[in-house]
Structure 1
Amino acid sequence: MIVYPPIEITDARLIASSVLEPDVANGEQAWQSGQAYAAGTAVIRASVHKRYQALVAIAAGDTATPESSPLKWQDMGATNSWAMFERGRANATVGQAGESLMFRVKPGSRIDSVALVGMEASYATLRIYQGTTLQVERTISLTKRLVHNWFDYFFNDFTYQNDAIFSDLPMYEDAEVEVELVYGDVPPSLKALVVCRKVHLGKTMVDPTLSGANYSRIVRDQEYGDVSRIVQRRFVPTTRQKLLIEDSRDAEQIRNALIAIRSSPALFSGLDDDTNNPWFTSFLIYGLLKDWTLSAPGLRYGGLSLELEEL
């Protein structure tokens, strides 16, 4: 298993983006001080990269900002431009149909991995620059099709890989990372960008488990118990895995890495960067480390048990 602790992307680290803020094409409008708003109106605040929805009617002349008025405005999460930096899969940055989704960030420290989580695209391209010099360029096709026999070969639909990890990248100093997603005539999108230095936690052993909580709600008729509607909500996966630490000299580094991310979201990959493995997506969790136990059954090797929950 590899953990990818994301470097926080700030205003200073976002160099360029093809998505404007506010993204008028996707229905965003900037909040205007003193303007009247009807209840339910959605606005954005570019200074904090947040979307807000009016809980009540806002009278003309009211100059209180949405972020300072939680009783009047509900925080709806990051703006479209910043959704992919929100550390989770709840929202996505969405581009325009027929155009590529492109952005460039400057991590501020050496990195060796870039992960793209929750993509809707047919091709993904990664470029790494030092100044104006292009040092690395990698493009992957995200098109796939499950084929067991000749019938599948001719008739199964093509699908798209939603997650990709570019790993073992050259660790350039002061590098800038550019990502471009292309999806033909469909708007490309990305739920999470992770730029980091990876930490190897150990080798995933047999029989990892994956489960989840369904937050959808069944609404029934109170008199007869018939189902009147189903309110669809998120499905939140959790996983429990046991790892083998093959060299006990790595135990201190692993312990320190786990302590460092105890209250911060991170990307955990049970199958490292093997994106071709059919179990890869199932055991790719962007979430919190709920529980861990480090064991030392021998002098030269160790064990690690983890419980992870998706955000």
Structure 2
Amino acid sequence: MKIIRPIAITAASLVSSDVPEDEAVYSAGTTYAQGDLVRGNTSDTEHTVYESQADANTGNALTDTSKWLLAGATNRFRMFDAIVQAQTTNPDEIEVTFSTTSRVDSIALLNLSAGSVQVVVDDPSDGVVYDETYELVSTDGIVDWYSYFFEPIERRSDLVLTDLPPYAGTEITVTLSSPGNTVAIGELVAGLSRELGDASYGASVGILDFSLKERDTFGNVRVVERAYSKRANFTLYMDAGMTDDVVRILSRYRATPAVYVAAGNYDSTTIYGYFRDFSVEIAGPNHSVCSLELEGLT
């Protein structure tokens, strides 16, 4: 299993993006109706969207929670807001370039809707050191000729790359393409990966569903679809010399979301979130065993 320790991708490090910020900037002199959306007008809020909670909403500061509701990041910045279900969308293509100061060798692209992904790493001294394109057609579930010919084409919704050259001070360009369709991505996470141990068979994966399902007095069911998050339980085996380092790393990221990649051939074992609990058993002089319970972000 690997952990990807994320770097912050902010407005300052975002070199370019072809996703427009179409939300109107808030103006104190404008009258807003209930449901109107605006973008913040200060350096701290310029990439944040607020929703008016009243009609005839004039001159009320965005900090007035009786008049304004914080709705989240702008479309351009949803892919960096640590909310996997909130997607950045754009027709045909999303192309972003961001700069790094620390070393980066991994990128996780989560909750994708695209046909292909291209990742380019450009170093100021060595030039382009990485340029790879990945098709997102999934072969999962294709187990016989019938499913090969008749099952609808599915695309991967998550892609994790851990083979980038570990340069610092680069510019990384990620291009998601699907001509003629709406391209979407829930989260882009970049950082430096670290081995935690070998995940053993017997792992369990699933989801926590926050949808509302209610049955009325006549037995009819009302379903309100809401977000969900991944969850998983793993057992890791590691060399004894890694024990203290693993405890130190997990303790450091106890309140910081990170990407955990248990098995590259199972996208369902990629979790972006926190550990709920972990314990390390020093099982012998040469190895230790770690029990790790993870819960993903919505």
Instruction: Please give the TM-score of this superposition, normalised by the length of structure 2.
Output: 0.92
Residue 147 of structure 2 aligns to a residue whose secondary structure is helix
Partner of 2:149: 154
Task: Quote the RMSD (CA, aligned, Å).
Answer: 1.7
Partner of 1:50: 48
Partner of 1:202: 197
Matched, 1:37 2:32: yes
Partner of 2:121: 128
Matched, 1:261 2:222: no
Q: Which one of the candidate residues 278, 292, 295 is aligned to 1:306?
A: 292
Matched, 1:297 2:283: yes
Structure 1 residue 54: deviation in Å? Answer: 1.3
Q: Read off the aligned partner of 1:136 and give its amino acid letter.
A: Y
Q: Read off the aligned partner of 2:281 and give its amino acid letter.
A: S
Partner of 1:165: 160
Q: What is the rounded CA distance, in whole Å, between the counterparts of 2:193 and 2:234 in structure 1?
A: 18
**1:166-214 CA-partner distances (Å, limit 9, x unpaired):** 2122122311110001012111111111110011111111211123332
Partner of 2:240: 248
Q: What is the rounded CA distance, in whole Å, between the counterparts of 1:291 and 1:307 in structure 2?
A: 5
Task: Please tell me whether the aligned partners of residues 15 and 97 of structure 2 are also in contact (alpha carbons under 8 angstroms).
Answer: yes
Structure 1 residue 229: deviation in Å? Answer: 2.5
Structure 1 residue 109: deviation in Å? Answer: 0.8
Q: Which one of the candidate residues 184, 188, 201 is aligned to 1:189?
A: 184
Q: Read off the aligned partner of 1:50 and give its amino acid letter.
A: T
Structure 1 residue 36: deviation in Å? Answer: 1.1
**1:135-178 CA-partner distances (Å, limit 9, x unpaired):** 21000111124422222222222111111122122122311110
Partner of 1:20: 20
Partner of 1:180: 175
Residue 154 of structure 1 aligns to a residue whose secondary structure is helix
Task: Please tell me whether the aligned partners of residues 102 and 168 of structure 2 are also in contact (alpha carbons under 8 angstroms).
Answer: yes
Q: Which moved more, 1:194-203 or 1:37-46?
A: 37-46
Q: Which one of the candidate residues 111, 125, 139 is aligned to 2:133?
A: 139
Taking only the aligned residue pairs, the percentage that are identical comes to: 27
Q: What is the rounded CA distance, in whole Å, between the counterparts of 2:242 and 2:221 in structure 1?
A: 56
Q: How does 1:60-71 map to 2 (within 5 A)?
A: 60=58, 62=59, 64=61, 66=62, 68-71=63-66
- Kindly tell me the number of residue pairs found equivalent between the two proteins: 292
Instruction: Please give the TM-score of this superposition, normalised by the length of structure 1.
Output: 0.88
Q: What is the rounded CA distance, in whole Å, between the counterparts of 1:303 and 1:249 in structure 2?
A: 12
Structure 1 residue 118: deviation in Å? Answer: 1.1
**1:197-254 CA-partner distances (Å, limit 9, x unpaired):** 0111111112111233322223443xx3332521111233321111101x21122221
Residue 100 of structure 1 aligns to a residue whose secondary structure is strand
Q: What is the rounded CA distance, in whole Å, between the counterparts of 1:199 and 1:118 in structure 2?
A: 23
Q: What is the rounded CA distance, in whole Å, between the counterparts of 1:58 and 1:259 in structure 2?
A: 49
Q: Read off the aligned partner of 2:182 and give its amino acid letter.
A: P
Q: Any stretches of 5+ residues in structure 2 without a counterpart? A: none
Matched, 1:93 2:88: yes
Q: How does 1:204-283 map to 2 (within 5 A)?
A: 204-221=199-216, 224-227=217-220, 229-245=222-238, 247-271=239-263, 274=264, 277=265, 280-283=266-269
Q: What is the rounded CA distance, in whole Å, between the counterparts of 2:56 and 2:129 in structure 1?
A: 51
